[in-house]
């Protein structure tokens, strides 16, 4: 039976999910962590709750993928490698070139490499994994699914920064956004759940995980999103600051005696957000379980920034039909969803406390009378990737 594997490769990890297509049945999934470090962890989940796990040094992605393919046959999940007819690879930066998911031939792969300038930690690892697939599975169709593609429909008014235009023209300095596959998936699901054509809807999708972004989806197209040139911009995140006055960087670099801007950006990416504010953790659950003033403020700031983006996108679209919550926090944090929506009652948003009392389940969580519908939609980027591969197989 024809199978498609959805791959999400990081610099030291490889997450994957194997589907029988077109049935969209997940036959196995797994993760390889700590690639290139000691005691890498290799896990496969399959069948009825079965699990295979081994801890050993896995030096690079090629060894990891070799191990994966071998185990898939050893565990009888596939009969032969030929069964895997498609591989969908999540790629962080697609720039202006990749407006949709694309078959990755040598020319496209060279472009993925070129775009590493926009995602230095991600694109090179992803390109490396595609090369390994080309080598080990020469008959498998490789498809790139880009985090940025969904946002390539943004109009200039929303993607240009107010800096000299030539920086955009010469260097591509603009907003690209991220999490596009997730925003696309949940917006489409929301339209289905509301029983309306997506072309007629104004939807605000809130992907609230460790990374978080808000998108304005009008007529099925992303017209604005909170992440920017990189995923550092937008709302407060687990360890990322979100929006900040650029002048503060110069001031803080002086105070902290930093001479390399990379160190400052590192602080904004890795030591800020919920972690920096609370001084406790980047994990929302830790903050909820803490009774310190700093954790409380961090939580309130998070809710405030999400609410502000929702408000601004209501203005951008001159209205909104539905607000969608997804990802770790969006799917599970009942109180945070409630607090965000309670502050938006002025434009006709009303949460139903009972319906909202749910985690990780597709559901409309606003009252029947609420003018603006609020929905919980668990994201499924892997399924979206597998679907895109399937569409390009034809
Ligand atoms: P993600 O990046 O989508 O995996 O989301 C991770 C974030 O979701 C972390 O901040 C978690 O603390 C948060 N999260 C997961 N489960 C819950 C929960 N039950 N309540 C609140 N936050 C949660």
pLDDT-based confidence at residue 59 (cuts at 50, 70, 90): very high
pLDDT-based confidence at residue 10 (cuts at 50, 70, 90): confident
Q: Which of 298, 330, 332 to mutate to test the pocket of ligand 1 (most atoms within 8 A of CB)?
A: 332
Q: Output the pLDDT for position 127.
A: 94
With tokens 């946002």, the residue in question is: 151
Determine if ligand 1 sits within 6 Å of the CB of residue 56.
no
Determine if ligand 1 sits within 6 Å of the CB of residue 231.
no
CA of residue 288 to ligand 1 center, whole Å: 11
Using the predicted structure, report yes or no on whether residue 203 has a pLDDT greater than 90.
Answer: yes
Q: Which of 212, 282, 333 to mutate to test the pocket of ligand 1 (most atoms within 8 A of CB)?
A: 333
Determine if ligand 1 sits within 6 Å of the CB of residue 278.
no
Backbone angles phi, psi at 15, to 5 degrees: -105, 140
Q: Output the pLDDT for position 143.
A: 98
- In words, the CATH class of domain 196-381 is alpha beta
pLDDT in tens, 325-343: 999 999 999 999 999 999 9
pTM exceeds 0.85: yes
Q: Are 89 and 108 in contact (CB under 8 A)?
A: no
pLDDT-based confidence at residue 121 (cuts at 50, 70, 90): confident
Q: Output the pLDDT for position 120.
A: 85
Using the predicted structure, report yes or no on whether residue 180 has a pLDDT greater than 80.
Answer: yes
| Minimal-distance CA residue to ligand 1 atom 18 | 332
Q: Output Rg (C-alpha) for the chain, integer angstroms.
A: 21
CATH architecture, domain 3-146: 2-Layer Sandwich (3.30)
Task: Give the residue extent of every domain in the chain.
Answer: 3-146, 196-381
Ligand 1 atom nearest to 207, measured from its CA: 3
CA of residue 332 to ligand 1 center, whole Å: 7
207 is in an annotated binding site: yes
Using the predicted structure, report yes or no on whether residue 299 has a pLDDT greater than 90.
Answer: yes
Q: Output the pLDDT for position 231.
A: 92
What percentage of the chain has pLDDT greater than the value 70?
A: 100
Determine if ligand 1 sits within 6 Å of the CB of residue 333.
yes
Distance CA 392, CA 101 (A): 9
Distance CA 259, CA 330 (A): 38
Q: Output the pLDDT for position 90.
A: 96
Active-site annotation holds for 57: no
Q: Output the pLDDT for position 45.
A: 97
pLDDT in tens, 348-388: 999 999 999 999 999 999 999 999 999 999 999 999 999 99
3-state SS, residue 143:
strand
Q: Output the pLDDT for position 357.
A: 98
Give CA angle at 352 (346, 354), nearest 5°: 160
pLDDT in tens, 376-385: 999 999 999 9
Q: Output the pLDDT for position 1.
A: 74
Distance CA 68, CA 309 (A): 41
Q: Output the pLDDT for position 75.
A: 96
CA of residue 327 to ligand 1 center, whole Å: 7
Query: Which strands sit side by side in the sheet containing 102-103, from one edge to the other?
Result: 50-56, 40-46, 25-33, 14-20, 3-9, 84-91, 141-146, 102-103
Determine if ligand 1 sits within 6 Å of the CB of residue 238.
yes
Q: Are 191 and 311 in contact (CB under 8 A)?
A: no
Say whether 196-381 and 3-146 share the same fold: yes
Using the predicted structure, report yes or no on whether residue 394 has a pLDDT greater than 80.
Answer: no
User: Among 79, 64, 61, which residue's Cα sits nearest to residue 3?
Assistant: 79
pLDDT-based confidence at residue 248 (cuts at 50, 70, 90): very high
pLDDT in tens, 259-287: 999 999 999 999 999 999 999 999 999 99
Q: Output the pLDDT for position 381.
A: 95
Q: What is the mean pLDDT of residues 216-226?
A: 98
Mean pLDDT of the chain: 96
Catalytic hit among 105, 113, 147, 192 = 147
């Amino acid at each position: 039976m024809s199978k498609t594997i959805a791959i999400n490769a990081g610099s030291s990890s490889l997450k994957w999910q194997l589907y029988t297509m077109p049935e969209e049945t997940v036959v196995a999934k797994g993760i390889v962590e700590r690639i290139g470090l000691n005691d890498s962890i290799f896990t496969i989940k399959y069948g009825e709750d079965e699990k295979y796990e081994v801890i050993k040094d896995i030096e690079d992605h090629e060894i990891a993928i070799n191990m994966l393919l071998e185990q898939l046959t050893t565990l009888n999940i596939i009969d032969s490698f030929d069964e895997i007819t498609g591989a969908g690879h999540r790629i962080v930066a697609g720039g202006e070139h990749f407006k949709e998911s694309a078959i990755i031939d040598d020319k496209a792969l060279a472009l993925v490499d070129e775009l590493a300038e926009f995602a230095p930690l991600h694109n090179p690892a992803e390109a490396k994994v595609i090369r390994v697939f080309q080598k080990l599975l020469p008959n498998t169709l490789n498809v790139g699914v880009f985090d940025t593609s969904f946002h390539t429909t943004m109009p200039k008014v929303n993607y240009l920064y107010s800096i000299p235009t030539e920086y955009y023209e010469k260097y591509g300095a603009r907003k690209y956004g991220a999490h596009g596959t997730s925003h696309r998936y949940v917006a489409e699901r929301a339209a289905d759940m509301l029983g309306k054509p997506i072309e007629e809807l104004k939807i605000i999708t809130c992907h609230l995980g460790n990374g978080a972004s808000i998108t304005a989806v009008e007529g099925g197209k992303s017209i604005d999103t909170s992440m920017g040139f990189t995923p550092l911009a937008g709302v407060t995140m687990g360890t990322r600051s979100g929006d900040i006055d650029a002048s503060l960087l110069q001031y803080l670099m002086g105070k902290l005696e930093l001479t390399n801007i990379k160190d400052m950006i590192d602080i904004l990416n890795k030591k800020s957000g919920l972690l920096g504010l609370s001084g406790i953790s980047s994990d929302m659950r830790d903050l909820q379980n803490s009774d310190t003033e700093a954790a409380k403020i961090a939580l309130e700031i998070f809710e405030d920034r999400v609410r502000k983006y929702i408000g601004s996108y209501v203005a951008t679209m001159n209205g909104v039909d539905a607000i969608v919550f997804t990802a770790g926090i969006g799917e599970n944090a009942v109180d945070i969803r409630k607090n965000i929506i309670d502050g938006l009652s002025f434009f006709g948003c009303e949460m139903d406390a009972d319906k909202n009392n749910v985690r990780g389940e597709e559901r409309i969580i606003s009252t029947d009378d609420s003018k603006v519908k609020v929905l919980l939609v668990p994201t499924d980027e892997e399924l979206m990737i597998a679907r895109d591969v399937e569409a390009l197989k034809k």
